[in-house]
């Protein structure tokens, strides 16, 4: 009986190899650690090797309980040569690559008249083009394997928008479109492509907003669960989409936002 039909293996990632970008902290680390906890060998990416030491050690310790492991993979996702070399290193060391989570993203809140065109180009390089390039790189070995999972981290800012945030919304909306396009193109080769759209999470990056009483009250009224999400609450979505449980799921955006988009 295969793992898609056997409950005990439904969420197991034993024997799988994953690459998670922007995994040194926040949502990226939470997803990488969860994959390791479910048995995967996970390569954590960040731009600075030193900053990955502690996150990798913590993820590796969690992974050992389930047969998983964690390794550091420092490179800049916007450097295509470095990104290609990183994928080659994973393949040379681990022998395969099954899961890619494109998590890296930047934000620049500026009004239309204040945002230089070059700033938009730079943001799109980080939020969209890097995911395009890495997806293309990992698709090659995934085709040979006949199996692969690509997960793009978008945002609730993909389907909705607010004033003064056009660059970020544009990038995340385009990443949603890329998710659907790659799902259509790569599905016949056994590669599932999906996205996770986080809402308001209490990460280090959002610390100032998290500590603001007015923001907390606004979120209480604006979302169904009425609170900030904790980074670990993104983990289940990542494990699901990476696991046998999602074998027939592709081209979808899984929203994890405490009911923000559903709340009127």
And the tokens for 99?
């899961």
| SS3 category, 192 | strand
Distance from C-alpha of 111 to C-alpha of 97, rounded to nearest angstrom: 40
Neighbouring residues of 130: CB distance < 8 A, sequence distance ≥ 6: 21, 77, 78, 83, 102, 104
* Angle subtended at Cα 68 by Cα 195 and Cα 24, rounded to the nearest 5 degrees: 55
Catalytic pick among 168, 200, 248, 260 = 168
Question: What letter would DSSP give residue 205?
Answer: G
Spell out a b/e string for 37-55, using b for 16 or more CB atoms within 10 Å of the CB, else e.
bbbbbbbbbbbeeeebeeb
Residue 251 burial by Cβ neighbours in a 10 Å radius (0-12, 13-18, 19+) = middle
Please report where in the chains the tokens 């494990």 appear, as a residue: 239
200 is a catalytic site residue: no
| Active site members | 168
């Amino acid at each position: 009986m295969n793992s898609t039909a056997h409950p005990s293996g439904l969420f197991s990632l034993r024997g799988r190899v994953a690459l998670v970008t922007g995994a040194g902290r926040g949502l990226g680390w939470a997803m990488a650690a969860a994959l390791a906890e479910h048995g995967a060998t996970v390569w954590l990416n960040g731009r600075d090797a030193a900053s990955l030491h502690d996150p990798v050690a913590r993820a590796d310790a969690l992974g050992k309980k389930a047969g998983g492991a964690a390794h550091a993979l420092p490179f800049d996702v916007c450097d295509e040569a470095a990104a290609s070399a990183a994928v080659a290193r994973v393949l040379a060391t681990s022998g395969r690559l099954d899961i890619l989570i494109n998590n890296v993203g930047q934000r620049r809140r500026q009004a239309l008249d204040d945002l230089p065109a070059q700033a938009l180009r730079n943001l799109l390089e980080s939020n969209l083009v890097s995911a395009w390039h890495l997806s293309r790189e990992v698709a090659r070995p995934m085709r040979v394997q006949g199996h692969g999972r690509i997960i793009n981290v978008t945002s609730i800012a993909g389907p909705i928008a607010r004033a003064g945030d056009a660059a970020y919304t544009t990038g995340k909306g385009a990443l949603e479109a890329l998710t659907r396009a790659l799902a259509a193109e790569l599905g016949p080769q056994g590669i599932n492509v999906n996205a996770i759209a986080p809402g308001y999470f209490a990460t280090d990056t959002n610390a100032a907003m998290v500590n603001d009483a007015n923001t907390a009250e606004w979120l209480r009224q604006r979302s169904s669960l009425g609170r900030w999400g904790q980074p670990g609450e993104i983990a289940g979505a990542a494990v699901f989409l990476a696991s046998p449980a999602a074998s027939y799921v592709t081209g979808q955006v899984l929203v994890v936002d405490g009911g923000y988009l559903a709340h009127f």
